[in-house]
């Protein structure tokens, strides 16, 4: 039972991603994804229905017993995704800029590129690692090899008559 529920949730998540990606890329969404979301939204009533029994009389109650919790959850999630995709905020949808991440975000700030701090840290750490691992590049205009007319550089060391800072003593 648990595997069946997990498989349904993963399938619906894929439909959500497909719809969001189509919205971001300004492409028409696949009909199968629209059908799956609509089916999930209509599978469970979203309003409390009117019931009567001898003990409680007339009362309103949602008709989702515990056996239909998954259907109810999928209906609520589908309604939220449909609301987001048709709202004014859908223009703010963006894919996370971190390479392995498959999440989406609302770009509420112009510089926001990642779905979380964790993704941003991962990208910055990878950039820093790549900079450390890259070979040093010569400065523009600098010669990279010695020419035959060029004399080898002198050994560096202290100039004559100048003492190294650690050799100086301080007198009072």
- What is the C-alpha separation between 112 and 109, in angstroms, rounded? 5
Instruction: Report the DSSP beta bridge partners of residue 151.
Output: none
For residue 22, which phi and psi values (nearest 5 degrees)?
A: -65, -40
Residues 53 and 33 occupy one common structural domain: yes
pLDDT value at 162 more than 60 = no
Number of independent structural domains in the chain: 2
pLDDT value at 44 more than 90 = no
Q: Are 107 and 66 within 8 A, CB to CB? A: no
- What is the C-alpha separation between 123 and 116, in angstroms, rounded? 11
User: pTM to 2 decimals?
Assistant: 0.62
18 pLDDT tier (thresholds 50, 70, 90): very high
Work out whether the CA dihedral 122, 125, 129, 130 comes out positive or negative: positive
Residues 97 and 81 occupy one common structural domain: no
90-128: pLDDT as tens digits: 999 999 988 889 999 898 888 889 989 899 999 999 999
Instruction: Report the DSSP beta bridge partners of residue 51.
Output: 59
Residue 97 lies in a domain: yes
Residues 72 and 114 occupy one common structural domain: no
> Where is the domain boundary, 23, 58, 86?
86
């Amino acid at each position: 039972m648990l595997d069946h529920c997990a498989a349904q949730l993963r399938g619906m998540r894929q439909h959500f991603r497909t719809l969001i990606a189509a919205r971001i890329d300004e492409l028409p969404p696949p009909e199968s994804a629209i059908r799956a979301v609509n089916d999930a939204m209509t599978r469970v009533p979203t309003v409390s229905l009117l019931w009567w029994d001898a003990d409680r009389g007339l009362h309103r109650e949602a008709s989702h017993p515990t056996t239909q919790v998954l259907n109810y959850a999928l209906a609520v999630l589908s309604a939220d995704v449909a609301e987001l995709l048709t709202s004014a905020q859908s223009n703010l949808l963006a894919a996370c800029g971190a390479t392995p991440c498959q999440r989406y975000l609302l770009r509420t700030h112009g510089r926001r590129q990642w779905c979380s701090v964790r993704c941003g840290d991962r990208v910055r750490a990878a950039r820093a690692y790549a900079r450390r691992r890259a070979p040093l590049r010569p400065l523009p205009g600098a010669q990279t090899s010695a020419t035959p007319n060029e004399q080898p550089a002198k050994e560096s060391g202290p100039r004559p008559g100048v003492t190294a800072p650690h050799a100086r003593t301080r007198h009072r």
